[in-house]
Amino acid sequence: MTTKKRLVRFSRGELLRVFESTADGVHVVDGKQRIIFWNRAAGKVLGFGGEDVLGRYCYDVIAGGDYQGHPFCRRGCPTIEAAKRGRSVKNYDVCSRRADGRPVWLNVSVLAVDDPEGEGRLAVHLFRDVTRRRQAEMLAQQTLEAVSRYQPGEDGAGEAGGPYPAPAPRLTRRELEVLRLLACGSSASVVAQTLGINTTTVRNHIEHILGKLGVHSRLEAVVYAAQHKLV
DSSP assignments along 94-105, one per residue: EEEE-TTS-EEE
Residue 114 is predicted with a pLDDT of: 86
Instruction: Report the share of the chain in percent with pLDDT over 70.
Output: 82
Domain covering 133-227 assigned CATH 1.10.10.10 in the classification: yes
Pick the range with the lowest mean pLDDT from 9-18, 90-99, 112-121, 160-169. 160-169
Q: Is the model's pLDDT at 72 over the cut of 50? A: yes
DSSP assignments along 126-178, one per residue: EEEE-HHHHHHHHHHHHHHHHHHH----TTSSBTTB-SS-SSPP---HHHHHH
Domain range annotation of the chain: 12-129, 133-227
Judge whether 12-129 and 133-227 match in fold: no
Pick the range with the lowest mean pLDDT from 113-117, 168-172, 198-202. 168-172
Residue 164 is predicted with a pLDDT of: 44
Q: Cα torsion for 199, 225, 135, 187, to the nearest 10°?
A: 0
Residue pair 224/165 in contact by the 8 Å Cβ criterion: no
Q: Is the model's pLDDT at 85 over the cut of 70? A: yes
- Considering the chain, what is the average pLDDT of its residues? 81
Question: Average of pLDDT values for 18-31?
Answer: 90
Higher pLDDT, 194 or 24: 24
Q: Is the model's pLDDT at 48 over the cut of 90? A: yes
What is the pLDDT confidence band of residue 43, given thresholds at 50, 70 and 90?
very high
pTM for the whole thing?
0.60
pLDDT winner (highest mean) among 92-96, 136-140, 217-221: 92-96
Q: What is the pLDDT of residues 148-197, one digit of tens each?
A: 665 554 444 444 444 444 445 688 989 988 988 888 777 888 888 889 99
Residue pair 147/227 in contact by the 8 Å Cβ criterion: yes
Residue pair 36/29 in contact by the 8 Å Cβ criterion: yes
Q: Is the model's pLDDT at 116 over the cut of 50? A: yes
Instruction: Report the share of the chain in percent with pLDDT over 90.
Output: 27
Q: Is the model's pLDDT at 73 over the cut of 90? A: no
Question: Average of pLDDT values for 73-92?
Answer: 81
Adjacent-strand bridge partners of 146: none
Q: Cα torsion for 64, 125, 109, 58, to the nearest 10°?
A: -20
Higher pLDDT, 30 or 84: 30
Residues in the chain, overall count: 231
* Superfamily in which the 12-129 domain is placed by CATH: PAS domain (3.30.450.20)
What is the pLDDT confidence band of residue 6, given thresholds at 50, 70 and 90?
low
